[in-house]
Amino acid sequence: MHILSLPHPKLTPIHTTPPPLYHLLVPSMAENSKPSYDDQQEIEELISSLPKGKGWHSSGLTLYQNFWCHSKFLPGVISFQRHFLARDSDVLIASKPKSGTTWLKSLAFSVLYRAQFNPTEANANHPLLSSNPHALVRTLELGQSAGHAPDLSGFADPRLFGTHVPYDSLPYSIRRSRCKVIYICRNPLDVVVSLWHFVAQVDAGDRAGGWSGMEEYFDNFCKGMDGYGPFWDHLLGYWKASQERPKKVLFLKYEDLKEDTAGNLKRIAEFMGVPFSDEEERNGVVEEIVKMCSLGSLKELEVNKTGRSIAGFENNSYFRKGEVGDWVNYFSLSMAERLKNIMEEKLSHFGLTFRVN
């Protein structure tokens, strides 16, 4: 068993230069981003009054609307809440970090825009071959800050975005419109390991005020003090929404997507309103998308070996093993039992269970 101890990452400024070919779908966010609101001071004062806690970075966590958010990202979350205007044709990829977000973004992008970018053609111009999935599917709260928000009005329909914000804290326009939300979750034991490796790989930064090691992070995770957590509240918010509004919210499990990627890809396409035709299935479109978006394929692309995402993280930090059950190599028996008991207590009453190996 390996217990990791490592420095904490340094956040770098958000880059908004559009990747190659992305301009075919959307205009540059950099060109259209402007300080269009006068609520910067109000947001900063609000954040300063909220409870604080430890996080993986020296900026720590802030408790906002009953979830913990990395303080560095909270101004963008609040601006996103206040100013984002959803369209009925929008599709939103929602998740807690390190739950299969990168993979689902690549799958959803390939399905939704396959008319523009045919995955069966040997075409080096497919955006996924030259752009990181997070550049193609922007995480909305990372493109905003207090007093600043990108102008998204020029984006072509249907728009595809991402978010880590809990369901009950999403902008009103998302919850009340007919836009679609696809949520992916993963068994929390693997999430902890995946996130810890992610932190290990991104740039080392100021350790002051951050977690001292894996055990401290694990303890805080179990207490609900984790980015966008507690994890059980995050899961249940989207789970309940999917039960109440199944045509609006599709709830996916990472483990199920791994076990039957093609079958779940068809579910995703149907849910987004772009089902695969019989001809597409005969021509192997589903299989080509599965192959192109596999972790192994994405990991080997040059664009995902170098460079940084719009959040400032190295592109290669988004790709590790992607295995189910890797937690057994890092957790003690007591750690695993503790988290399993929490999962049972918090989730089983709602019919939510996870395959953990």
Active-site positions read: 164
Q: What is the pLDDT of residue 350?
A: 93
Asked if 131 and 22 touch (Cβ cutoff 8 Å), the reply is yes
Residue 6 lies in a domain: no
Higher-pLDDT residue of 179 and 204 is 179
Q: Which letter, b or e, does each residue of 261-280 get, where b requires 16 or more Cβ atoms within 10 Å of its Cβ? A: beebbbbbbebbebebeeeb
- Per DSSP bridges, beta strands 180-185 and 91-95 are parallel
Question: What are the φ and ψ backbone dihedral angles of 304, each rounded to 5 degrees?
Answer: -95, 0
Indicate whether 15 pLDDT > 50.
no
| 302 occurs within a structural domain | yes
Residue 62 pairs in a beta bridge with 52, 69
Of 11-25, 111-125, 170-184, 337-351, the least confident: 11-25
pLDDT at 135: 82
Q: For the residues 79-83, what does the mean pLDDT come to?
A: 92
pLDDT of residue 167: 98
C-alpha 242, offset from chain centre? 18
Range of the domain at 67: 13-350
Is the pLDDT reported for residue 331 higher than 50? yes
Stretch 72-93: mean pLDDT, rounded?
A: 94
- Which CATH number belongs to the domain containing residue 44 in this structure? 3.40.50.300
Is there a domain that residue 2 lies in? no
Decide which of 303 and 238 is more confident.
Answer: 238
How confident is the model over 10-31, as a mean pLDDT?
A: 37
* 1 belongs to a structural domain: no
Gyration radius of the chain's alpha carbons: 19
Phi, psi dihedrals of residue 128, rounded to the nearest 5° = -65, -20
The answer to whether residue 356 sits within a structural domain is no
Q: Which pLDDT does position 303 carry in this prediction?
A: 66
Whether 207 shows a pLDDT value over 70: the answer reads no
**pLDDT score at 307:** 59
**pLDDT class of 21 with cuts at 50, 70, 90:** very low
State how far the Cα of 2 lies from the Cα of 294, in Å rounded to an integer: 27
Q: Which of 5-9, 250-254, 294-298, 302-306 has the highest mean pLDDT?
A: 250-254
Q: Averaged over 16-20, what is the pLDDT? A: 35
Q: How confident is the model at residue 327 (pLDDT cuts 50, 70, 90)?
A: confident
pLDDT of 250 strictly over 80 = yes
More reliable by pLDDT, 192 or 243: 243
Model confidence over 166-201: pLDDT tens digits?
Answer: 999 999 999 999 999 999 999 999 888 888 766 665
80 occurs within a structural domain: yes
Q: What's the chain's average pLDDT?
A: 81
Q: Domain total for the chain?
A: 1
| C-alpha angle 269-163-296 in degrees, rounded to nearest 5 | 60
- Asked whether residue 8 is assigned to any structural domain, the reply reads no
In a domain, residue 68? The reply is yes
Return the pLDDT at 2: 42
